[in-house]
Amino acid sequence: MRAVIATAAGGPEVLSVHEVPDVEPGPGEVAIAVVATAINRADLLQRQGFYPPPPGASDVIGLECSGTIAAVGEGVEQWSVGDEVCALLAGGGYASRVVVPAGQVMPVPDGVDLVTAAALPEVAATVWSNVFMVAGLKPHEAFLVHGGAGGIGTFAIQLASALGARVFTTGGTADKLAFCASLGADVTINYRDEDFVEAVKAATDGGGVDVILDNMGAKYLQRNVEALATEGRLVIIGMQGGSKGELDINALLRKRGAVIATSLRSRPSDEKATICASLVELVWPLVAEGLVRPIVHGTMSLDDVVAAHELMESGEHTGKIVLTV
């Protein structure tokens, strides 16, 4: 099979496509003939040597894919060879074949083509598990997602809007913020020339937002708490702005707020299976109705993985970057 191998920790230039031994499913697993995969920011960190795969996972980069079932392991009854699927992976997506626990495999939603489906599993699982399963965002609550034009942001805006929340988002250009508004964002904030805390307070009569999905970490920690409403929930899923910050506990106590840090990749397979089952039941129908859709900036060949990573690092994309295998 073909797979992208990182010859060392470093920039995009360390990535190249090689022939490697095929992988075969074990008990409870399936093998997928990969049609497409998608790039996530975690892939850049793994390439740089900062985000190793969890024990037992493939060393090949890639946290999601779409394709067809090529083989099923012992005890797998819900999938058959030839089924078109997408899957949430702990690794291995940048390849022509990948093995994954059967519970992390999902049908392709109606109305979504097989290549585009590669852009769904990671963002959908991240947004659904953190914003709704963990933070419990409710209809008519206010929700802020940072970086609304990215893969996670574009999905979060649509899903929160479709389920009745008032959506706030930040972005770095007028074009990106206009696109976020077209997806359902009610309030858009340019972080380059606006203070998002002041903008949130102005738009909520000082009340703040109920849930924040944050990928910045330390840089935004205290300001996120300031932007929370009473009993607000801050969910941190990334550290683009650093890993160590100061927090005014008194400010958090006064708001009876919560700060939650989560990681999807390192969760046990049974937890991921629960998330995937919930997606199929509650989110896939919204995708099928066209209320939520994967936003794909562009599609590139697996052989162009270096250019794809360079594009991801540039921040000039909107939505997901898909690699066809």
Question: Count of CB atoms within 10 A of residue 122's CB?
Answer: 30
Number of H helices, E strands in the chain: 10, 15
| Whether pLDDT at 117 is above 90 | yes
Tens digit of pLDDT for each residue in 119-156?
A: 999 999 999 999 999 999 999 999 999 999 999 999 99
Q: What is the 3-state secondary structure (H, E, C) of 143-164?
A: EEECCCCEHHHHHHHHHHHHCC
Tens digit of pLDDT for each residue in 203-228?
A: 999 999 999 999 998 899 999 999 99
Q: Are 111 and 287 in contact (CB under 8 A)?
A: yes
Tokens of 133: 């399963």
Question: Count of CB atoms within 10 A of residue 181's CB?
Answer: 17
Could you tell me the sign of the dihedral formed by the alpha carbons of 169, 177, 279, 281, in that order?
positive
Query: Which pLDDT score, from 0 to 100, does residue 243 have?
Result: 86
Q: What is the model's pTM?
A: 0.96
Query: Which pLDDT score, from 0 to 100, does residue 239 have?
Result: 87
Query: Which pLDDT score, from 0 to 100, does residue 241 have?
Result: 85
Nearest to 234 by CA among 251, 258, 252: 258
Average pLDDT over residues 292-309: 97
291: Cα within 13 Å, side-chain hemisphere: 12
Average pLDDT over residues 184-197: 97
Q: Are 104 and 93 in contact (CB under 8 A)?
A: no
26: Cα within 13 Å, side-chain hemisphere: 2
End-to-end CA distance of the chain: 11
Query: Which pLDDT score, from 0 to 100, does residue 242 have?
Result: 86
E strand intervals along the chain: 2-6, 15-19, 29-38, 64-72, 84-88, 97-101, 105-107, 142-145, 166-171, 187-190, 209-214, 228-236, 258-261, 296-301, 320-324
Tens digit of pLDDT for each residue in 229-287?
A: 999 999 999 988 888 988 899 999 999 999 999 999 999 999 999 999 999 999 999 99
Tens digit of pLDDT for each residue in 57-104?
A: 999 999 999 999 999 999 999 999 999 999 999 999 999 999 999 999
Average pLDDT over residues 185-196: 96
